[in-house]
Amino acid sequence: MLRIREDRQAVARRIEVARVAVGAMLSLLAVAYWIVQIVHGDYYFSLSENNRIRAVKVTAPRGYVLDRHGVPLVENEPAYTLHLYRREAKDLEGSVAFIIDLLGLNPEVVRSRVERGRRDPEFVPIPIAENLGIEEVAAVQARAAEHPEFAITVSQRRLYKHAGAAAHALGYLSEATPDQIKNSNDAYGVGDWIGQKGVESAYERLLAGTSGERRVIVDSHGREVAEEARLEASPGQNLFLTLDSKLQDVAEEYFKTRVGSVVAMDPRTGEILALVSSPSYDPNWFTRRVTSAEWAGLLENPDRPLQNRAIQNMYSPGSVVKPFLAYGALARGLVDPEWRVFCPGHATFYGREFHCHKKGGHGLVNLREAIKESCDVYFYTLGQKLGVDRINEILTGFGFGTVTGVDLSFEKAGLVPSEEWARTKRGARWYPSETISVAIGQGPILVTSMQVARALSALLEGGRLPTPHLFYASQDPRTGAQLRYKAEFLQGPTLEADKLAIVKSGMWAVVNEAGGTAYGSRVNGVEMGGKTGTAQVVGHDTAIKAGADKSKLETHAWFAGFAPIQDPGIVVVVFVENGGHGNLAAAPLAKALVEARYGIAPAPPPPSVRASGTSAPGFARAAQRQAP
């Protein structure tokens, strides 16, 4: 085929055409701008002078948080902020002096705020003081005629109705951190409030709603004249928690004077009925802007009030671990229910002497009695039969060593030892004598209260591990439409009913048979089962010799209970730091919670409990109030 090369002249001609077209096009644009800027210039100028439209964000009202019965836990209340409009002030210094005097404000704070505000354009109001009281608002408004430069704006502030109650479940609000702003895809800006920790953080998107926008017309002073258009904010969802206020109140009262945590949960669904971590803090502090003294107090408190002890602190489980190991040994056929161990109060394993908590010994005990009386020698022997890797397998099956997935952040996973763990993670081989300690929940084994609650639920529900949760339902405040939480489960190894029955019978005996370790806490009218535990504080004896504070060296007290025996509707895990023994320090709260759950007026407390001073009048009151 003949190829005819194109003449360069043809391209050159087209370029000439293009030059004309480019010139014409740009000229046309100039004409268009002439029309907009010169012909209609006055019109647009007047628009820009008189109709300045500004976009103002409308924050959506944040959803309320309520308990499962609709008792409000967190609401919003109006908060008044005082602003200074510089353009209106004839004598700025005079105005500042006036307001400092009128409201008794800190002069340094006010002056530094005004200084900072001066960097903004003049029409931007300077915030002078937040959270004014009603009298202060009235005082400013009474002088509005002489001092038009001061204006008061109303906004919504978060109100935690019961101060520190359930603080760790609820969380708190604070101004969004720079990182949170950066990661929010423009949803949050400087000065916006955002949930931190607790359900405030976990369900931030539900609670916050979607902010709206107003286009307002402002005058040349930047003051609002009229509203041009409005995109309504859609309010946040109300959040119903699984918490039951009457149980929560009982638990809060109990922990007023103690350090520790309690988790009460419905074993069938994982609904958390009460959650306390003590000491607590008042989430209202943060919405009122924490003072540095308050921050220092929170941070320097050695008991770390900001920590949620139920999920963030890990402890040795002590004897609470025994029912799980007992079941594991039964299921694996290593022991039969009537196999007996003689307990003289101590025993020797691998050349080391181990003591039973009962100095005189329990005599000949079978599995049920060993659980009931918490015989250590029985479980030492059982642990030796099991070995650490089988212990690991049993406890992992009950969910120890992994997070429960509760809808709260910063949950810890705990530790279940194994030979491999010792070799790879710890870097020192596993000693068989350690197995003996682990069999009674001491040594290198760590759990959280939440894990114990979940594991006990699995023991009661045939191996089904419920995922603990606080979300009960959310509700659209405009339509009332509800969204319910669908319970989630992990399926552990399926448990055998007949073997479970033996373990449960032992746990029943703990509370209901004379000689059981929590016999003092039996409940009238509903049968509670459970297991006490006492976790040693590491380095106890050495520290005593060194003259340490004795109250900090008391053992930690555990109690993990459930009720009723048939078809349990509640599990309660109580942990009292330095509380002494589980039967005295922890079990009475479980009893009180079971009574609150089933509406039972408490019987007069048995003498032993009264003597120990653990019966707080508060829960008697609370329980009576709720009785049908």
Partner 1 sequence: MIGGTLQTGRRLDLVVLGSALCLAALGVLFVASATTGTRFQGLAARQAIWIAVGLGAMVAAILFDYRMLLKFSFAIYCACLLPLVYLLAFGARIANVRSWIRFGQFQFQPAELAKIATALLVAYLFENEDDARLHLSTVFKLGAIVGLPVLLVFLQPDMGLALTFLPLIFVGLFFGGLPARGWIAIFLVVAVIAGAGWFMLKDYQKARIGTFLNPDADVLGSGYQVRQSKIAVGSGGFSGKGFRGGTQSQLRFLPVQHTDFILAVIAEEWGFLGVILVLALFATLFLRALKLAQTARDRGGVFLVLGLTGMMFFSVVINASMMIGLAPTTGIPLPFVSYGGSSVATTFLAIGLILGVQYRRFANA
Q: Which residues are catalytic?
A: 319
Shortest Å distance, C-beta 1 to partner 1: 10
Sign of CA dihedral 19, 21, 22, 28: positive
Q: Encoding tokens for residue 559?
A: 């109690």
Q: Does 428 bind partner 1 (CB under 8 A)?
A: no
Q: Residue from 192, 213, 219, 513 that binds partner 1 (CB under 8 A)?
A: 213
Stretch near partner 1 under the rule CB under 8 A, chosen from 14-22, 57-65, 108-116, 322-330:
14-22
- The C-alpha atoms of residue 298 and residue 49 are separated, in whole angstroms, by 52
- The C-alpha atoms of residue 562 and residue 591 are separated, in whole angstroms, by 9
- Is the Cβ of residue 12 or residue 428 nearer to partner 1 in the bound state? 12
Stretch near partner 1 under the rule CB under 8 A, chosen from 113-121, 125-133, 440-448, 580-588:
113-121
Q: Residue from 10, 134, 145, 546 that binds partner 1 (CB under 8 A)?
A: 10
Number of residues that bind partner 1 (CB under 8 A): 51
Q: Using only the alpha carbons of the chain, give its radius of gyration.
A: 34
Of 161-200, binders to partner 1 (CB under 8 A) are 185-186, 190
Of 463-502, binders to partner 1 (CB under 8 A) are none
Range list of H helices, 513-581: 540-545
Q: Residue from 98, 123, 339, 598 that binds partner 1 (CB under 8 A)?
A: 123
List the one residue out of 259, 304, 308 whose CA is nearest residue 551: 259
Q: Does 56 bind partner 1 (CB under 8 A)?
A: no
The torsion angles phi and psi of 390, rounded to 5 degrees, stand at: -75, -35
Side chain identity, residue 296:
A
Side chain identity, residue 68:
R
Q: List, in order, residues 6 or more apart from 110 with CB less than 8 Å away.
A: 96, 99, 100, 128, 129
Q: What does each C-alpha distance from 99 to 23, 114, 296, 481 come to in angstroms? A: 63, 12, 30, 47
Side chain identity, residue 103:
L
Stretch near partner 1 under the rule CB under 8 A, chosen from 43-51, 77-85, 448-456, 501-509:
43-51
Shortest Å distance, C-beta 193 to partner 1: 19
What stretch of H or E contains 393? helix 388-397
Shortest Å distance, C-beta 3 to partner 1: 6
Q: Residue from 69, 116, 215, 426 that binds partner 1 (CB under 8 A)?
A: 215
Side chain identity, residue 38:
I
- Buried/exposed 175-208: b ≥16 CB within 10 Å, e otherwise: bbeeebbeeeeebbeeebbbbbbbbbbbbbebbb
Q: DSSP state, 398?
A: T
Spatial contact of 151 and 89, defined as CB atoms under 8 Å apart: no
Shortest Å distance, C-beta 15 to partner 1: 5
Q: Residue from 77, 101, 115, 120 that binds partner 1 (CB under 8 A)?
A: 120
- The C-alpha atoms of residue 621 and residue 406 are separated, in whole angstroms, by 31
Stretch near partner 1 under the rule CB under 8 A, chosen from 16-24, 86-94, 364-372, 506-514:
16-24
Q: Residue from 19, 57, 552, 625 that binds partner 1 (CB under 8 A)?
A: 19
The partner residues of 196 in beta bridges, in order of sequence, read 172
Stretch near partner 1 under the rule CB under 8 A, chosen from 62-70, 226-234, 242-250, 456-464:
226-234
Q: List, in order, residues 6 or more apart from 237 with CB less than 8 Å away.
A: 63, 206, 207, 209, 474, 475, 476, 477, 483
DSSP string, 425-489: IISSPPPHHHHHHHTTT-SS-BB-HHHHHHHHHHHHTTTEEEPPB-EEEEE-TTT--EEEPPP-E
Stretch near partner 1 under the rule CB under 8 A, chosen from 165-173, 223-231, 301-309, 387-395:
223-231
- Is the Cβ of residue 183 or residue 491 nearer to partner 1 in the bound state? 183
- Is the Cβ of residue 36 or residue 481 nearer to partner 1 in the bound state? 36
Shortest Å distance, C-beta 322 to partner 1: 51
What stretch of H or E contains 346? strand 346-349
Q: What does each C-alpha distance from 10 to 60, 382, 548 come to in angstroms? A: 65, 100, 100
Shortest Å distance, C-beta 88 to partner 1: 18
Q: Does 627 bind partner 1 (CB under 8 A)?
A: no
Shortest Å distance, C-beta 22 to partner 1: 5
- The C-alpha atoms of residue 105 and residue 96 are separated, in whole angstroms, by 10
- The CA-CA-CA angle for residues 350, 352, 358, to 5°, reads 120
Stretch near partner 1 under the rule CB under 8 A, chosen from 35-43, 377-385, 480-488, 560-568:
35-43
Q: Does 226 bind partner 1 (CB under 8 A)?
A: no
- Is the Cβ of residue 120 or residue 303 nearer to partner 1 in the bound state? 120
Q: Does 54 bind partner 1 (CB under 8 A)?
A: yes
Stretch near partner 1 under the rule CB under 8 A, chosen from 1-9, 408-416, 469-477, 484-492:
1-9
Shortest Å distance, C-beta 87 to partner 1: 13
Q: Residue from 8, 429, 478, 545 that binds partner 1 (CB under 8 A)?
A: 8
Q: Residue from 15, 163, 487, 611 that binds partner 1 (CB under 8 A)?
A: 15
Shortest Å distance, C-beta 222 to partner 1: 8
Q: Does 221 bind partner 1 (CB under 8 A)?
A: no
- The C-alpha atoms of residue 64 and residue 207 are separated, in whole angstroms, by 8
Q: Does 6 bind partner 1 (CB under 8 A)?
A: yes
167 three-class SS: helix
Q: Residue from 97, 98, 121, 291 that binds partner 1 (CB under 8 A)?
A: 121
Q: Residue for token digits 């200074």?
A: 84
- Is the Cβ of residue 94 or residue 189 nearer to partner 1 in the bound state? 189
List the one residue out of 611, 598, 613, 597 whose CA is nearest residue 249: 597
- The C-alpha atoms of residue 240 and residue 251 are separated, in whole angstroms, by 19
Side chain identity, residue 534:
T
Shortest Å distance, C-beta 42 to partner 1: 8
Q: Encoding tokens for residue 230?
A: 């409005």
Shortest Å distance, C-beta 41 to partner 1: 4
* Bridge-based pairing state of the strands 238-241 and 224-231: unpaired
- Is the Cβ of residue 41 or residue 525 nearer to partner 1 in the bound state? 41
- Is the Cβ of residue 182 or residue 540 nearer to partner 1 in the bound state? 182
- The C-alpha atoms of residue 373 and residue 100 are separated, in whole angstroms, by 69
Q: Does 231 bind partner 1 (CB under 8 A)?
A: yes
Q: Encoding tokens for residue 488?
A: 């989630």
- Is the Cβ of residue 54 or residue 352 nearer to partner 1 in the bound state? 54
List the one residue out of 109, 130, 173, 250 whose CA is nearest residue 616: 250
Shortest Å distance, C-beta 125 to partner 1: 14
The contact set with partner 1 (CB under 8 A) reads 3-8, 10-12, 14-15, 18-19, 22-23, 25-26, 29-30, 32-34, 36-38, 40-45, 47-49, 52-55, 119-121, 123, 185-186, 190, 213, 215, 222, 228-229, 231
